[in-house]
Amino acid sequence: MYKTKHLIFSLIFFLLLLITGCATDDITSDSAERQSLLVSVEQAKQSKIRQSLELNGQMLPKEQVPLFTVAPLEVKEVHKKVGEEVSKGDLLITLDAELAREQVNQAKKAVTELDKALNQANELNRTAQNEVQRLQALQQELEQSLNATRTVIENLDEENADTALLEFIRNSLELSLKQAELSQAAGSIQQVPRINTTELEIQLETAKHNVRQAEQGVQATKLHAPISGVIAQMDVTVGQMAVPNAPLAVIVNLDPVVAVFSANSFQISKITPGMEVSITINGINETYENSITTVSPVVNPQTNSFTVEAEIDNPERTIKGGMRTTGIVDLGTIDEAVVLPIDSILYEDNEAFVFKVNDATVVRQAVELGSREGNLIEVLEGIKVNDTVVTTGKERLTEGAQITIRNE
């Protein structure tokens, strides 16, 4: 009996301990849920802010010229290497000219043969023309003899019968000879065909054009610098076969260089040629003050952005092609801008937002941003003057989270 009572009391005591422990855990969990997060805040204020646009891009040469070959030819000599400065007209690459010279010889041979054929054709045509003229002369003489014979017959009478008869016989014989000569000339004309030389003349002009092209091919085996500048690429070696449509070398002019920026639709609407731009270049501890020279009137469909350019003098060749660059375009001062610390801004899917303080909790608020100056950024929509937003600790917040403002 005693043992039974002792066992019952032990069980009751154990159950009380278990219930007390569970209640403590529930209280602790509930307290944790209600625990607020410690944050720092600042108020939106009205301030003057310089309106500016930040453009990103890269430095490119003012001029960039690739060199090509017109035919597949072997590289005989390479006279320059990458990085060397060259002047316009300097010899850079020598290609095998043997094939090009053979093409010149063949083209010249074709010209010689066609020229000879054209001369022969012209000579035959002249001969035919002479025969035609001789035939025409014989026809005139034959008509004259015929007329003379008619005249003798008409004047024939008894008084001068003997003389008139002799004259008639003489004219008849002369007429017969003229007829024979005329028949012979007509036969000669039939044997000498007239040649149309137009096609030969066209072929000859084509052959002469081929000679000029072939001579240009010989000249093209020596590649000269088309501009003064620096060798940026030399993609051939001695003994290699140079092929058309692939640049053998590239020459660039680095003085001046061009800062080429990409601009979105909002930025391009604010920019015009002649506006001042401050340019900084990665790796160079210097700011270049220049003006915008070119503003693209149409969007680049490949990048979906507009192009903005500014030139920079580069006499020491310090700036290299391809360096990353940033340009700041000053658009003036906004006197009454609503501004927030840049540390208060968060982004999600490229959309900006802040956590606005509402008593002891926060509300997620989307904002539209404008210009930035230093650690301040203009807010165009979403926040009013004196609204309080979270700066430090914002990353841990969610919609409706409780906060405790740090006293500093």
Q: Residue 131: inside a domain, yes or no?
A: yes
Q: What is the pTM of this model?
A: 0.54
Q: Indicate whether 121 and 239 sit together in one domain.
A: no
Q: Which one-letter amino acid corresponds to residue 191?
A: Q
- Residue located via tokens 């801004």: 345
Domain assignment present for 5 = no
- Whether 12 maps to a domain, the answer reads no
Residues in the chain: 408
Task: Mention every residue, 6+ apart, whose C-beta is less than 8 A from residue 96.
Answer: 73, 74, 75, 76, 221
The answer on 232 and 84 residing in a single domain is yes
Tell whether 259 and 390 lie within a shared domain.
Answer: yes
75 closest CA partner among 226, 197, 223? 223
Please tell me the distance from the alpha carbon of residue 40 to that of residue 395, in angstroms, as a whole number. Answer: 12
Which of 177, 171, 182 shows the shortest CA–CA distance to 146? 171
Residues 309 and 393 both lie in one domain: yes
Instruction: Please check whether residues 385 and 396 belong to one and the same domain.
Output: yes
Question: What is the CB neighbour count within 10 angstroms for residue 288?
Answer: 19
**What distance in Å separates the CA atoms of residue 35 and residue 18, rounded to the nearest whole number?**
26
Q: Which residues contact 176 (CB under 8 A, 6 or more apart)?
A: none
Q: Is residue 333 part of a domain?
A: yes
Residue 8 counted as domain residue: no
154 and 179 in a single domain? The answer is: yes
Q: Residue 374 burial (CB < 10 Å; 0-12/13-18/19+)?
A: exposed
Residue position matching structure tokens 């855990």: 25
β partners of residue 390: 41
Same domain, 237 and 308: no
Q: How many domains does the chain have?
A: 3
CATH number of the domain encompassing residue 84: 2.40.50.100
- Please confirm whether the linkage preceding 256 is cis (ω < 30° from 0): yes
Asked whether the beta carbons of 353 and 319 are under 8 A apart, the reply is no
Q: Residue 9 domain-assigned?
A: no
Residue 37 covered by a domain = no
Strands (E), 266-391: 276-281, 284-291, 294-295, 306-312, 324-341, 346-348, 351-358, 361-366, 368-373, 376-381, 388-390
Q: Are 342 and 394 in contact (CB under 8 A)?
A: no
Do residues 316 and 167 share a domain? no
pLDDT in tens, the chain (408 residues): 444 444 444 544 554 444 444 444 444 444 444 578 999 999 999 998 888 888 999 999 999 999 998 888 889 999 999 999 999 999 999 998 887 788 788 888 888 888 888 888 788 777 777 766 766 676 676 666 666 666 655 555 545 555 655 565 665 656 565 565 556 555 554 555 566 778 888 888 888 888 888 777 777 888 999 999 999 999 999 999 998 889 999 999 999 999 999 988 878 988 999 999 999 999 999 999 999 999 999 999 888 899 999 999 999 999 999 999 999 998 888 888 999 999 999 998 878 999 999 989 999 999 988 888 888 999 989 999 999 999 999 999 999 999 999 875
In the numeric block, which tokens belong to residue 95?
């290609």
What confidence tens digit (pLDDT) does each residue in 176-208 have? 655 655 565 555 545 555 667 788 888 888 888
Whether 112 and 238 map to the same domain: the answer is no
27 lies in a domain? Answer: no
Please indicate, yes or no, whether residues 247 and 258 belong to a single structural domain of this protein: no
Q: Are residues 189 and 336 in the same domain?
A: no
**In terms of residue numbers, what domain contains 181?**
101-201
CATH classification at residue 307: 2.40.30.170
Same domain, yes or no, for 288 and 219?
no
